[in-house]
Amino acid sequence: MKRFDSTLSSLGKKGGMPASSASTDATCRRACPTLTAAVCLAVLLLCTAVSAAAQCTGPGAPTTTETKCVAAIKVPGNPLQSFDISWVNPDRAEYYLADRANSGVDIIDTKNLVFKKTIGGFVGIKLNKAGTAVDNNHSGPDGVVSRDKCLYVGDGDSTLKVIDLDQGKIVATRSTHGTTRLDEMALTDDGRFLLAANNAEDPPYATLFRVNEENEGCDSIDMGTKISVDSTVLPGGFGLSIEQPAWDPQTQRFYTSIPVIADNPTGSGCNNGQLAGPITCSGGLLVTDPQEPNKTQGLFDPAENAGVIKLNACGPNGATVGLNDNLLLGCTPANLPGSTTTLVINATTHNYANIGGITGSDEVWFNKGDGRYYTGSSAMPKPAGSPLNKGSVLGVIDGTSVLIETIPQSSGSHSVAADSRRNLIFVPQLFTSAPTVPPAPPAVPLGDQNFAAGGAGTTVGQLICGTTKGCIAVYASPTNHREEGHGGDAGN
């Protein structure tokens, strides 16, 4: 490690600051060709942190956690007023964020931790009829997933848009024949099938696309097949939804979170929206065989290994496949009021376990590089005695389903993705709007509400980013010393 130590010495004494961010960055990159890949990565991470002293501070960058904030990447253009799902392709060393504020997909270089570009062509932010908040159901982009050079993105006009990353533009558009957004999605490992959730239709449905594997062009995708859930399981008229799908290579099935289903628990007379008062029905997990899909799926059929599995005490949004064929589901009290845990369920046996201390998740991600789950838990209840205004956190869970730690985030940071080769975790932070004093109207969109001292002052996201415009916060796993090419493949 002598060369590593000497390189650090060239940046100045511990705690010192270089003359400028640009000179620090140049020094680091000139040093890298003389270092091993692992040491080079460590130097670049340190340089990024040193050259942005105002970033990665406050409650969102604690020094006592295993997972460390190492960088905050600014996105040019409009502040991050609204964003949705994110994705990492470790082979291309790229992170993708559905950025509605800039009507496009932001691309971050996960090797050098710099912004690359935004690919536009999406509907952007749409406000509700009153003009008081973002209308998520009609805004876009939304869901994002990729394989090789092809990036698949859901938009607010019910279309799937396909981007050729080498060309840097949209090369295909497919309608899913709805009136609201196409949301989260998943690909099979071989890239032949794509399942996407039309979550805001009533009743909701999924669309299964087949990709022509013989044609290397990203535009070689069919018009899609509608996959519905039987109305006795997912009745229409109550605003119910379907959410994040995940592909399990072991069972060769898609698994899609359903926040609320009827009659779960069975015979309980629970409320799925048909009664006044809070929802009391738990959710389900839709199992879909892409080779022989049923266009209308009922409750789970063991013979077909397809249909809706009833879940216990969980209204899930996110879904991701982890170790030993287990799926972690992002349970949230926003779907099932009063729920306090996160669920892990085995894809084969359907045995399950509840993880205490973490809930309220939207996107969830399993990182094969460090064997950990990461949760975008924007709806996490605030702990008693917390000085923060909101409970929003990044959850870190090990492969045995034990909660390791939670780290405060901006109030809208429901999105998370990890680079499994470099063991870096990317968490978008919501912009911080200028504080308004009543009777002045609040900002539209509202902005980060996770104030660092419980009042209308500096927010957690502002401290992480070093700016009020929002950013992509980058966290390093304690195992981020892996050399490139030895960290596994895509995490979701």
pLDDT digits (tens, 9 = 90+) for 426-441: 999 999 998 777 777 8
Residue 482, pLDDT above cutoff 50? no
- Orientation of helix 37-50 relative to helix 2-10, angle to 10°: 20
Q: What integer pLDDT is reported at residue 51 of this predicted model?
A: 44
Residue 4, pLDDT above cutoff 80? no
Q: What integer pLDDT is reported at residue 49 of this predicted model?
A: 42
Closest CA to 392 of 403, 404, 405, 408: 408
Tens-place pLDDT, residues 364-379: 999 999 999 999 999 9
Mean pLDDT calculated for residue range 184-199:
97
Tens-place pLDDT, residues 308-339: 999 999 999 999 999 999 999 999 999 999 99
Q: What integer pLDDT is reported at residue 95 of this predicted model?
A: 98
422-442 burial, b at 16+ Cβ within 10 Å, e below that, comes to bbbbbbbbbbbbeeeeeeeee
CA–CA gap between residue 165 and residue 175 (Å, rounded) = 21
pLDDT band at 393, cuts 50/70/90? very high
Q: What integer pLDDT is reported at residue 54 of this predicted model?
A: 86
Is the CB of residue 95 less than 8 Å from the CB of residue 86?
yes
Residue 224, pLDDT above cutoff 80? yes
Q: What integer pLDDT is reported at residue 50 of this predicted model?
A: 42
The C-alpha torsion from 151 through 102 and 69 to 8, rounded to 10°, is: 90
Q: What integer pLDDT is reported at residue 455 of this predicted model?
A: 72
pLDDT band at 193, cuts 50/70/90? very high
Strands of the sheet with 253-258, listed across from one edge: 245-248, 253-258, 284-288, 307-310
Residue 490, pLDDT above cutoff 50? no
Please state, in angstroms and as integers, the Cα–Cα distance from residue 156 to each residue in 39, 182, 199, 444, following that order.
Answer: 43, 6, 11, 19
Tens-place pLDDT, residues 180-189: 999 999 999 9
Is the CB of residue 444 less than 8 Å from the CB of residue 133?
yes
Mean pLDDT calculated for residue range 28-39:
51
Q: What integer pLDDT is reported at residue 104 of this predicted model?
A: 98
End-to-end CA distance of the chain: 34
Which string of DSSP letters, residue by residue, matches 116-131? EEEEE-S-B--B-TTS
Is the CB of residue 240 less than 8 Å from the CB of residue 273?
yes
CA–CA gap between residue 432 and residue 79 (Å, rounded) = 9
Q: What topology does CATH give the domain 57-476?
A: Methylamine Dehydrogenase; Chain H (2.130.10)
Mean pLDDT calculated for residue range 260-271:
98
Across 332-371, the runs of DSSP E, i.e. the strands, are 341-346, 352-356, 364-367
268-295 burial, b at 16+ Cβ within 10 Å, e below that, comes to eebbbeeeeeebbbbbbbbbbbbeebee
Q: What's 492's DSSP letter?
A: -
Instruction: Name which of 159-173, 251-265, 471-485 the model is least confident about.
Output: 471-485
Q: What integer pLDDT is reported at residue 40 of this predicted model?
A: 54
- Output the average pLDDT for the chain: 89
Mean pLDDT calculated for residue range 222-244:
97
90, with CB counted inside 10 A (0-12, 13-18, 19+), is: buried
- Please give the angle made by the CA atoms of 248, 253 and 257, to the nearest 5 degrees: 80
Q: What integer pLDDT is reported at residue 68 of this predicted model?
A: 97
Closest CA to 398 of 372, 423, 416, 424: 372
- Orientation of helix 37-50 relative to helix 21-31, angle to 10°: 170
Is the CB of residue 129 less than 8 Å from the CB of residue 151?
no
Mean pLDDT calculated for residue range 223-238:
97
Using the Cα atoms of residue 354, residue 284, residue 83 and residue 172 in order, give the sign of their dihedral.
positive
Q: Which helix (H) or strand (E) holds 7?
A: helix 2-10
Please state, in angstroms and as integers, the Cα–Cα distance from residue 248 to each residue in 255, 287, 367, 417, 445, following that order.
Answer: 7, 10, 14, 18, 37
Q: Is the pTM of this model over 0.85?
A: yes
Q: What integer pLDDT is reported at residue 434 of this predicted model?
A: 82
Mean pLDDT calculated for residue range 351-359:
96
Is the CB of residue 235 less than 8 Å from the CB of residue 180?
no
Cα radius of gyration (the chain): 22
Q: Which residue has the higher pLDDT, 47 or 200?
A: 200
Q: What's 113's DSSP letter?
A: T
SS3 150: strand
Please list the residues that pair with 474 across neighbouring strands: 71, 426
CA–CA gap between residue 395 and residue 418 (Å, rounded) = 13
Q: Which helix (H) or strand (E) holds 169?
A: strand 169-175
Q: Which residue ranges make up each domain of the chain?
A: 1-53, 57-476
Which string of DSSP letters, residue by residue, matches 31-85? HGGGS-HHHHHHHHHHHHHHT-TTSS-STTS-SSSSSEEEEEE--SSS----EEE
Residue 259, pLDDT above cutoff 80? yes
